[in-house]
Amino acid sequence: MDNYPTSWAPQQNVVVVAWGITLALLVGVLWLAIGGDVGGTILTGVAMLSTGALALHGTLLRPRLAAGPGGILARTVGGAHRYSWTEARFRLRMTRRLGRDNVTLEVESGDHLLVFGRIDLGEDPRDVLDVLTAFKGQALS
């Protein structure tokens, strides 16, 4: 990630815990399969695959967002997206779900909209926006 001195990714301990849960669910799948519980095996298998997919996502797509003097780099399942400071726009979106306030960082450029939450960034999106705004100000001045 040269030329991108600042980056954000899911916290490593969260990813490690996700892999641990995946392993525990794998043991559960094997235990239930040996015991002959087909329904439990399928249900636990789906949970294992879902948790494993999230853990793999957190492992492979690091960092999720990086910033440097030339612009930003966002990594998604669809590949890496590079945007210069002149084409990237940022904003915070606050929503209330299930009685909780959630803050996401939206990165928009042309027809592309990327949304990052606290888990994606490993930090509060408000703090990330402050850093991105400072970088953009320095680059455009």
DSSP 8-class letter at 65: E
CB 11 within 8 A of CB 122: yes
> Is 73:81 a contact under the CB 8 Å cutoff?
yes
Q: How far apart are CA 29 and CA 25, in angstroms?
A: 6
Residues of the chain with pLDDT under 50: 1
pLDDT for 3 equals: 66
pTM of the complete model: 0.81
- Angle at CA 70, nearest 5°, toward 120 and 59? 25
User: In this structure, what token pair is assigned to residue 8?
Assistant: 């954000």
The domain spans of the chain are 11-60, 63-140
